[in-house]
Amino acid sequence: MRFEQLQQAWAAGQIVALAGPAPRDQEALAAAIGPQGLDPLQRQWGPGVVLGSGGSSGGRRWCLQPLAHLQASATATGSWLEQQGLNPAACLHLNPLPLHHVSGLLPWLRAQQWGAAHRHLQPAWLRDPALLAAVAPVDPTRPALLSLVPTQLQRLMAAPEGVAWLQQLGLIWVGGAPLPPQLAVRARQAGLRLAPCYGATETAAMVCALPPKRFLAAAAGCGAPLVDVELRLGPDGAVEVRSGRLSPGWLANGQLQPLPRSADGWWRSGDAGRLGPAGLVVVGRLDSAIHSGGETVFPEPLEAQLLALAQAAGLPVQALLLLPMHDPEWGQRLVALVRAEGMQPWPDLQRQLRQLCEPWAPAERPTRWLCCPELAPTALGKWQRSRWRDWMDELEANQKSRPTSADVDSL
């Protein structure tokens, strides 16, 4: 569906279901809606969208977001921009994210609501920074806004043309996944006006953002909540949100399942965080945390740290993922899946990676290392941990049934 088609559907009072092109997503969405379609929801909620949420650690959920909630999100974002000294109506929205993703839908809707300009960027352009700079030059008279996931930012910063293009932008929101510390350092050194942010489909996109000035001054985290949002931490450190734009719920087998929230309106996300002077700092996913030797360990920051250390040491590591495995003594221990390029023998690379982890606490050190040539996040930079756990389990089963001398792991 194109943006213009979506606008026409909303004008007719319709709820539009949006999914990616993958057949499994299309089939899952159709099953969630059920045979009766979206007419009952339209009568209750008016125009809106159904979007996929999650998928990083389990099944995808199909969230309903009424148009009024999306518009409230745009209003709050406009207020935040004004606090940064930017006139929302005078900005150009550059949008490289797909319409079926909440962070690809909102830039277009914000531009519509503010009377600002909007330009969609082809995904292929972001994989070729020189081409991007040529086909999408930045107008110095109009502040350009861009929303990226960290994977896209990293690709652009890998080339001088990409860095030069990013340096011309008025503001770059970065969300969808944690911003690797080493990438943040490089962005500051280049003077990029990043605004790390946090949000979800359930919250109609962004609920907090760090001002670029604070980012450049080395503040960490995702900033303070927007004007229509409250944030707090649950007893287990879960990030909890209260806002009038929370999703009513998600569709399953043709029924709307209400979004779980407390009696006073707080929704518990799946993320762990802490609240500091600069606002929210997301520590990691609660559902990917492990309990090892009495310690709670969050794999995501360890992944980012180890990947940065490996790249700084010149090791040919392209992707890295830490997953739990059962351990009779510790409860759980970490396993490292690694994708590397080049001719370096795997035993040598494995040894060097283990040395990088030696200063870490025992519960944080991977006890097993697996070479995984196909390892990669999704196009939006999210890890489908359940998929790679299945890969690890299948590898383990194959090794038990067919012992081989070409061992790819080390205990």
- Please list the pLDDT of the chain residue by residue as tens digits (411 residues): 788 999 999 999 999 999 988 787 899 899 999 999 999 999 999 999 999 986 434 457 899 999 999 999 999 999 999 999 999 999 999 999 889 999 999 999 999 999 999 999 998 899 899 999 999 999 999 999 999 988 789 889 999 999 999 999 999 999 987 788 888 999 999 999 999 999 999 999 999 999 999 999 999 999 999 999 999 999 989 999 999 999 999 999 999 999 999 999 999 998 999 998 889 999 888 888 887 877 778 898 899 899 989 989 999 999 999 999 988 878 889 999 999 988 889 999 999 999 999 999 888 999 999 999 999 988 777 888 889 999 998 888 887 766 543 343 432
Is 411 inside a domain boundary? no
- The answer to whether the beta carbons of residues 113 and 68 sit under 8 Å apart is no
- The answer to whether the beta carbons of residues 208 and 230 sit under 8 Å apart is no
Is 245 inside a domain boundary? yes
Same domain, 158 and 214: yes
Same domain, 265 and 391: no
CA torsion 217-222-225-229 (nearest 10°) is 170
pTM above 0.85, yes or no: no
Is 410 inside a domain boundary? no
Same domain, 315 and 269: no
- 3-state secondary structure string, the chain? CCHHHHHHHHHCCCEEECCCCCHHHHHHHHHHHCCCCCHHHHHHHCCEEEEEEECCCCCEEEEEEEHHHHHHHHHHHHHHHHHCCCCHHHCEEEECCCCCCHHHHHHHHHHHHHCCEEEECCHHHHCCHHHHHHHCCCCCCCCEEEEECHHHHHHHHCCHHHHHHHHCCCEEEECCCCCCHHHHHHHHHCCCCEEEEEEEHHHCEEEEECCHHHHHCCCCCCCEECCCEEEEECCCCEEEEEECCCCCEEEECCEEEECCCCCCCCEEEEEEEEEECCEEEEEEEHHHCEEECCEEECHHHHHHHHHHHHHHCCCCEEEEEEEEEEECCCEEEEEEEEEECCCCCHHHHHHHHHHHCCCCCHHHCCCEEEECCCCCCCCCCCCCHHHHHHHHHHHHHHHHHCCCCCCCCCC
Same domain, 377 and 316: yes
Same domain, 390 and 360: yes
Is 409 inside a domain boundary? no
Task: Check residue 296 and give its pLDDT.
Answer: 76
Same domain, 137 and 250: yes
Is 326 inside a domain boundary? yes
Query: Could you give the C-alpha distances from 158 to 155, 162, 187, 261, 380, in angstroms and in order?
Result: 5, 7, 11, 42, 17
- Indicate which CATH number applies to the domain containing 378: 3.30.300.30
Same domain, 63 and 209: yes
Same domain, 199 and 334: no
Q: Measure the CA–CA gap between 56 and 247, rounded to whole angstroms.
A: 19
Query: Could you give the C-alpha distances from 229 to 3, 85, 130, 338, in angstroms and in order?
Result: 27, 21, 39, 39
Same domain, 221 and 96: yes
Same domain, 262 and 343: no
Task: Check residue 401 and give its pLDDT.
Answer: 67
Same domain, 350 and 361: yes
Total number of domains constituting the chain: 2
Task: Check residue 402 and give its pLDDT.
Answer: 62
- Indicate which CATH number applies to the domain containing 244: 3.40.50.12780
Residues of the domain holding 295: 289-400
Same domain, 209 and 301: no
